[in-house]
Amino acid sequence: MDAPSFIASVIVITASGALAPGPLFFAAISHGTKSGAKGGLLFSIGHTLVELPLVIVLALGLLAAADPQHIKLFTGIVGGLALLAFGILQIRDSLRSRLDKPNSVGIYSRNPLLLGVVFTGLNPYFIVWWLTVGGKIIQDALIFASFAGVVLMYVSHVWMDYAWLTGVAYLARMGTNVLGSKAYRTVMALFGVVLIYFGFTFLLSVFNISLF
């Protein structure tokens, strides 16, 4: 396989994970309504702070020693509880916030870099994806060009995270310019409901239970 073909395969395969609506996506929208593209960029950096070390560890040969079930159990419980807490705070603060109050509390006023780390590291689907689908891609990268292949693979993947999260945060910020205060609070409350949904989904996934 030549380099262009390898890069194309990485982009196609990893797009399913990078572009799928998840907790980080909805949190980036919520925060983006206040911080815009800057918040999305910081979310992306926080995401990378978790993802890159994980990729390096897997590339160093720890993939076989990792237990996806144990990791899913831990991140499912801790991550689910964290998402429930953030969702409740989001709804509470959306009922109190005002568009003309820059210091309003809420998920958008918290550290986006830290939130990027939290929503990535405590997402069981993210971890398990890298231990399964991502693990296969890492193996292919090592076969293709050793650790240089891993670097090429990760660069081919990570740009989508930055473009996606920064873009949706920017568009969220632009959207607040055309929303009235009541509509804005309603939208933010709905995103809080979405975060709570993901929280319950994570907790139920520990027991292989689906909401639907």
Convert the pLDDT of each residue in 152-203 to its tens digit. 999 999 999 999 899 888 888 877 555 555 766 777 788 778 878 878 887 8
How confident is the model at residue 154, as a pLDDT?
Answer: 95
Using 50, 70 and 90 to split pLDDT, how confident is the model at 65?
A: low
Q: Per-residue confidence at 101, pLDDT binned at 50, 70, 90?
A: very low
pLDDT in tens, 7-43: 988 888 877 667 666 778 878 887 777 788 888 999 9
User: For residue 91, is pLDDT > 80?
Assistant: yes
Q: Which of 73, 70, 82, 97 is nearest to 23 (CA)?
A: 82
Quote the mean pLDDT of the chain. Answer: 79
Whether the Cβ atoms of residue 91 and residue 155 lie closer than 8 Å to each other: no
Task: Assess whether pLDDT exceeds 90 at residue 44.
Answer: yes
Q: What distance in Å separates the CA atoms of residue 96 and residue 63, rounded to the nearest whole number?
A: 46
Which tens digits make up the pLDDT trace of 108-146? 446 889 889 988 888 877 887 888 778 888 888 888 888
Give the pLDDT score at 68: 66
